[in-house]
Amino acid sequence: MILKNAKDANGAPCEVWVKDGSIRAVGIGLPTPEGEPVLDAKGLTVLPAFIDTHCHWRTPGFEYKEDIATGSAAAAAGGYTFVNLMPNTKPVCSSAEIAHSVMDKAKEIGLCDVNQCVSITRDFDGKTLDHLLTLPDDLRYISEDGNGVMDNAVMARAFAIATDRGLVVMSHAEDREISPWDYRLAENIETVRNCHLAEYYGTRLHMCHVSTKEAVRAIRESQYRGGRVTCEVTPHHLWFDDTRLQYKVNPPIRKADDVDALVKAIRDGVVSCIGTDHAPHTAEDKAKGAAGMVGLETAFAVCYTKLCRECGLPLEHLSALMSAGPAAVMNLPTKGLIAPGFDADLVLVDIDHMFTVDAEKLHSKSKNCPYDGQSFYGKIMLTMKAGRETYRSPEFTG
């Protein structure tokens, strides 16, 4: 397949030759081999498909909120071809058996590749680490997402094991003894602790959904000292501040100066990637106080409107935050770029198309979307995984 009449992230004309699931050539005026199908991009922007470092599909145990099929469909509609799933399921994903069952089901559905994280402590019990000693080589990412490991000695041992076994710690930074009365302090304290543990043990650490200016500063300083620390920010922590939205997410929506600090950290290269923290809930569960919101289908538009349209960030930088950056965090050497030899995971976006979010039309099973009724630039028109279409907007006629 030859993709013609596209523009790259810098607005330059671009053609892409895709063969057998990979990119064979990128350029202008590419010859079209006899019998090769042609896809007319009609002037749209082609980007590497997106990779999400932080996502919840609720399987096993909470499929009434989301399942792998609806999560895959939401991902494809948002331009994603790879997501990293958190382990706060029921039962908690503390074993290779559970992780592989989720990954195998996603592969069977075929819309989006998946990595399933394993919990740091067994069943989130806050103390047991022996399961980490026997994880197979295809399970390298561990997280206590939604919790945070409270005991300092347990977390230190987890970091030591991670370094020895080549695991990556993905940290939900929250001291749960403090968060009932000060969410900001709860995030900041665990961020500092975990950065220092990463430096001490030489562990790869990825800080999830960073939201405060103090946490950003701690991560920046750790990186400066040589810590192997990366971090993500979410679209909702960039778009909203606490004067614009009162909606329960964890970590909470922060203040305007925190948003400014996140944008600055993006410009400075402290932030490695965007993670959606796509967290589906039913209306009943939200009414009972469940924290979280869906975000796969709106992530690009929210970030493009905020970072590129409002803050002047080059689209090329946003593309790196959503593709090459997360590919590096997740150790995906053939994903994240449009270049020969890379997987033909592509997305066509109309950066000039303003649309209004309608939560009822989202592909996710859940509709807990605070963007409902808001308008953004940057509509996803087509998603392609390994050269095969996984999503096509009804508005795209190429």
| 3-state SS class at 157 | helix
- 202, 226 Cβ separation under 8 angstroms: no
Q: How many CA atoms lie within 13 A of 131 on its CB side?
A: 24
User: Which segments of the chain does DSSP mark as H helices, in order?
Assistant: 68-77, 96-109, 152-165, 183-201, 213-224, 235-239, 256-268, 283-287, 299-303, 315-322, 324-329
Instruction: Say which of 145, 258, 277, 345 is annotated catalytic.
Output: 277
β pairing state of 80-85 and 346-356: unpaired
The one-letter amino acid at 188: N
Q: What residues contact 220, with CB distance under 8 A and at least 6 apart?
A: 265, 268, 270
Specify the residue for token string 């971090």. Answer: 231
Q: How far apart are CA 383 and CA 398, in angstroms?
A: 13
- 255, 242 Cβ separation under 8 angstroms: yes
> What's the Cα-to-Cα distance from 254 to each of 108, 186, 213, 236, 257, rounded to whole Å?
39, 13, 9, 10, 8
Is 145 marked active-site? Answer: no
Burial 32-49 (b: 16+ CB within 10 A, else e): eeeeeeebebeebbbbbb
β pairing state of 13-19 and 45-48: unpaired
> What's the Cα-to-Cα distance from 398 to each of 4, 77, 231, 321, 394, rounded to whole Å?
10, 17, 37, 27, 11
β pairing state of 2-7 and 13-19: antiparallel
Q: What residues contact 328, with CB distance under 8 A and at least 6 apart?
A: 230, 272, 336
- 170, 206 Cβ separation under 8 angstroms: yes
Q: How far apart are CA 330 and CA 250, in angstroms?
A: 23
The residues annotated with a catalytic role in the active site are 277
